[in-house]
Homo-oligomer: A and B are copies of this chain.
Amino acid sequence: MFGLSQGVGYAVKAMACLSEDGEAHFVREVAECAQVPPAYLTKVFKKLVDAGILTSKRGWAGGTRLACAPKDITLLAIVEAIDGKDWNRGCLLGQEFCSDERACPTHEFWKVERQAIAEKLRHITLASCIEFERKRGTLGSCKCAPTGKASPPPS
């Protein structure tokens, strides 16, 4: 009721896994590594691909990978890709006709706050999230880890 969508949380966890080696990985592997619903993650990844944050390739030896370095992917970009550009628009109290000209009691406060939140998300990159995810302890032990890149099945 107050915060970002579940999809954003899934995206952050999953992309932290992808950050490990910069290689392409299968959605099901990433989902297992990040412990998020695999089928739902395909929908989340689609939005990130459309936003140009991830790239994907179909078919044999396909997969999904980061479009650029983790330090160049901001949380704001991820949030906008998943929740839309208007994710933090609107009056805190939900008043339809709240504006600069006719301001609700929280208007000025909220204008500053939501801008601060957006700026914070703009300056935190995916790189910062890796350390957090590492503390989960699973990052190095799943197929997304450098030692287990998305290799085609043995021929």
Which parts of A1-30 form the interface with B (CB within 8 Å)? Answer: 1-6, 8-10, 12-13
Contact residues in B for A106 (Cβ distance below 8 Å): 75, 120-121, 124
Contact residues in B for A8 (Cβ distance below 8 Å): 93-94
CB distance from A112 to the nearest CB of B (A): 10
CA–CA, A102 and B91, complex, Å: 32
Q: Are B87 and A1 in contact (CB under 8 A)?
A: yes
Q: Is A128 an interface residue (CB 8 A)?
A: yes
Number of copies: 2
Q: Are B4 and A4 in contact (CB under 8 A)?
A: no
Q: Are B105 and A128 in contact (CB under 8 A)?
A: yes
Q: Are A3 and B113 in contact (CB under 8 A)?
A: no
Interface string of A87-106 (1 = CB under 8 A from B): 11011111101100011111
Q: Is A83 an interface residue (CB 8 A)?
A: yes
CA–CA, A94 and B129, complex, Å: 13
CB distance from A30 to the nearest CB of B (A): 16
Q: Are B120 and A87 in contact (CB under 8 A)?
A: no
CA–CA, A8 and B94, complex, Å: 8
Chain B CB within 10 Å — which of A5, A94, A98 has the most?
Answer: A94
Contact residues in B for A93 (Cβ distance below 8 Å): 4, 8-9, 12, 75
6 A-B pairs with least C-beta separation? A9-B94, A105-B128, A105-B124, A2-B88, A104-B132, A102-B135
